[in-house]
C-alpha cells in the first residue's frame, strides 16, 4: 500500500523551490479597468499564514485526539469494559 502523502508538506516544498527559482505567488483578480484586465497582488504572506494555521490546527487536533483517547481508556477501565486499564 502506498504511504499517505502529506499534501501540506508537498505544497511547502513546492513553494520553497519556486521561491528559490525567483517565482512569486500572486493573487489575480479580474478588473476590467486595469491595463491588462487583471489586478495582481502578492499572495506569499496570505499563503504562509494559511500554512501556519493548518499546522497549528493539526497539532491542536492531535492534542484533542490524545486527550479523548486517554479519557475513553479511563472510562472503559472504570466501567470494566475491554481495553480499559
What pTM was estimated for this model as a whole? 0.71
pLDDT in tens, 25-79: 999 999 999 988 999 999 999 999 999 999 999 999 999 999 999 999 999 988 9
Q: Which residues pair with 27 in a beta bridge?
A: 41
Name the grid cell of 77: 477501565
What does the domain layout of the chain look like in residue ranges?
7-79
- Can you list the alpha helix ranges (DSSP code H) found in the chain? 7-20, 44-79
With 60 as the cut, is the pLDDT of residue 85 above it? no
| H or E stretch at 28 | strand 26-30
Amino acid at each position: 500500500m502506498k504511504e499517505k502523502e502529506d499534501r501540506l508538506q508537498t505544497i511547502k516544498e513546492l513553494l520553497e523551490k519556486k521561491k528559490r527559482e525567483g517565482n512569486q505567488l500572486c493573487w489575480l483578480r479580474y478588473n476590467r479597468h486595469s491595463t491588462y484586465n487583471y489586478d495582481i497582488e502578492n499572495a506569499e504572506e496570505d499563503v504562509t499564514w494559511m500554512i501556519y494555521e493548518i499546522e497549528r490546527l493539526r497539532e491542536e487536533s492531535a492534542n484533542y485526539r490524545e486527550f479523548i483517547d486517554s479519557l475513553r481508556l479511563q472510562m472503559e477501565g472504570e466501567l470494566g469494559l475491554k481495553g480499559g486499564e
